[in-house]
Amino acid sequence: MKRTLSTSVAIAALAAGAAHAQDLIVPVGEGAFTWDSYEAFAEEYDLTGQRLEITGPWTGDEKAKVDEVFRYFEEATGADVNYSGSDSFEQDIVISARSGSAPNLAVFPQPGLAADMARQGYLTPLPEGTGEWVAENFAAGDSWVDLGTYAGPDGEEHLYGIFYRVDLKSLVWYSPIAFDEAGYDVPETLEALKELTEDMADDGVTPWCIGLGSGAATGWPATDWVEDMMLRTQPPEVYDQWVTNEIPFDDPAVVGAIEEFGWFARNDDFVSGGSEAVATTDFRDSPGGLFALPPECMMHRQASFIPAFFPDNAEMGENIDFFYFPAYEEKDLGKPVLGAGTVFGITNPSDAASAMIEFLKLPVAHELWATQGAFLSAHAGLNPETYQTDTQRAQSEIIQDATTFRFDGSDLMPSEIGAGAFWSGMIDYVGGTDAEAVAAGIQSRWDGMK
């Protein structure tokens, strides 16, 4: 049965706080959105009277945005969606699953937790054919299939998760003005990035701002550097083996990636404040050197969220911009991208839960958050015109061009390693400890957990 679709309000009404519960942020059929598949979806599903319970990590502004997306599901199907966000989602979902009161769907910020729940029998495999669909319709689609595939309680692997929102980490931020004045070009290979770093130092300019400080989490920015270097020096399957400790942390491949980070971070001529400042500079303060007059540094490697810590005078495309953290040309490993993302899994099967998985396949399900800002997607069918900003479009292009996408490795490791020994080991390393010794120490901690 075809459902009637509301067309009552525009984006401006939402911004003014005037939208009512039954209104939609964009009238169906208007704008650059991919409505055809949405209307076909509405023709197929009638879930009138059914209630869909979803929980996840999105709260505040993020909850408000995803609620707007879910309203289109409600309009198309007649179902009632209740999304509840929690700052303690990771604990809450485990408790509810074990007590038999899990919601229909859960949005996992890390595939590791989803994999744990699948192994314990708390997740339901996605419908047959979903993996093939993801491989064909997501950029670097096989990567997303791998990230959503876990072993069930019987040890057999199935696709349990479909990714929705993506974060991008393989970025280098820089000042176009400073580059232009000095005659520097944006490098397209890692060889060229290293050459540029040396040229800047020879010119008496400090190439990099690097800060690893983060309170109790000090050291985590260095793990992102090492992960990016693993993807640029080793095939993705070696990265996967490292994350699961199938190869030890002190394997030469890992030691080499740590030393690749050290090439940048342990050279006094390459880093603002010298290498001793790397461990003590807060990561939130570190990009500030790009905006100093004269600049205290020329480049800063950090994820897509870092503009939240830029000064008020930052103007994207003017005094700040970014480029893809390039790969080695000689190693021929394509264009690997490091990032993170959220994955939907079925924790309490229902017709409405299965329909939501189908809804998340629609480009418009991604476009509707994209147009609200602070959103990236790997969905190749998303119309980039629906992104709110040029920044989103440019970062989306990096994701779409990726040949491999891998999740933040430290987030996939046991917390004692990924959020403990790895962090502290990187502080020891930038302080002068040998890479082999650091890696051996981290592996020793891992061995102690077995």
* pLDDT one-digit tens code per residue, 112-127: 999 999 999 999 999 9
Q: Which residues contact 169 (CB under 8 A, 6 or more apart)?
A: 224, 227, 228, 302, 303, 304, 337, 338, 339, 340, 408
Q: For residue 249, what pLDDT is reported?
A: 98
Please report whether residue 3 resides in a domain.
no
Q: Which residues contact 16 (CB under 8 A, 6 or more apart)?
A: none
Q: Are 364 and 35 in contact (CB under 8 A)?
A: yes
Structural domain range at position 320: 171-337+408-449
Q: Residue 12: which pLDDT band, with cuts at 50, 70 and 90?
A: very low
Please report whether residue 5 resides in a domain.
no
Q: For residue 392, what pLDDT is reported?
A: 97
Average pLDDT in the 160-180 region?
A: 97
- The number of distinct structural domains making up the chain is 2
Euclidean distance between the first and the last CA atom of the chain, given in angstroms as a whole number: 55
Average pLDDT in the 145-157 region?
A: 97
Between 7 and 390, the higher pLDDT residue: 390
Please report whether residue 2 resides in a domain.
no
Query: How far apart, in Å, are the Cα atoms of 317 and each of 89, 154, 206?
Result: 36, 52, 22
Please check whether residues 223 and 327 belong to one and the same domain: yes
Please report whether residue 123 resides in a domain.
yes
Q: Residue 351: which pLDDT band, with cuts at 50, 70 and 90?
A: very high
Strand, helix or coil at 316?
Answer: strand
Please check whether residues 76 and 142 belong to one and the same domain: yes
CATH no. for residue 177? 3.40.190.10
Residue the block writes with tokens 């509810």: 96
This prediction's pTM: 0.93
Please check whether residues 194 and 228 belong to one and the same domain: yes
Please check whether residues 138 and 50 belong to one and the same domain: yes
Which amino acid, one-letter code, is at 68?
E
Q: For residue 20, what pLDDT is reported?
A: 36
Q: Residue 22: which pLDDT band, with cuts at 50, 70 and 90?
A: low
- pLDDT tens, residue by residue, 88-143: 999 999 999 999 999 999 999 999 999 999 999 999 999 999 999 999 999 999 99
Rounded Cα distance between 147 and 163, Å, is 9
Average pLDDT in the 160-167 region?
A: 97
Average pLDDT in the 64-70 region?
A: 98
Q: For residue 9, what pLDDT is reported?
A: 31
- pLDDT tens, residue by residue, 187-221: 999 999 999 999 999 999 999 999 999 999 999 99
Please check whether residues 152 and 270 belong to one and the same domain: no
Please check whether residues 124 and 191 belong to one and the same domain: no
Q: For residue 11, what pLDDT is reported?
A: 39
Average pLDDT in the 378-399 region?
A: 98
Please check whether residues 80 and 200 belong to one and the same domain: no
The sheet that has 171-174: what strands, in order across it?
299-301, 171-174, 321-324
Please check whether residues 325 and 386 belong to one and the same domain: no
Please report whether residue 73 resides in a domain.
yes
Which amino acid, one-letter code, is at 24?
L
Average pLDDT in the 383-409 region?
A: 97
Q: By percentage, how much of the chain surpasses pLDDT 70?
A: 95
Task: Quote the tokens at residue 430.
Answer: 């930038």
Q: Residue 361: which pLDDT band, with cuts at 50, 70 and 90?
A: very high
CA dihedral 235, 238, 242, 243 (to 10 degrees): 70
Q: Residue 17: which pLDDT band, with cuts at 50, 70 and 90?
A: very low
Please check whether residues 329 and 236 belong to one and the same domain: yes
Please check whether residues 40 and 65 belong to one and the same domain: yes
Task: Quote the tokens at residue 307.
Answer: 């503009």
Rounded Cα distance between 444 and 448, Å, is 6
Residue the block writes with tokens 């990726």: 402
Please report whether residue 37 resides in a domain.
yes
Please report whether residue 25 resides in a domain.
yes
Please check whether residues 299 and 416 belong to one and the same domain: yes
Please check whether residues 97 and 59 belong to one and the same domain: yes
Q: What is the DSSP string of 318-345?
A: TTBEEEE-PPPTTTT---EEEEEEEEEE
Rounded Cα distance between 151 and 131, Å, is 15
Please report whether residue 1 resides in a domain.
no
Average pLDDT in the 53-70 region?
A: 98
pLDDT for residue 5 is more than 60: no
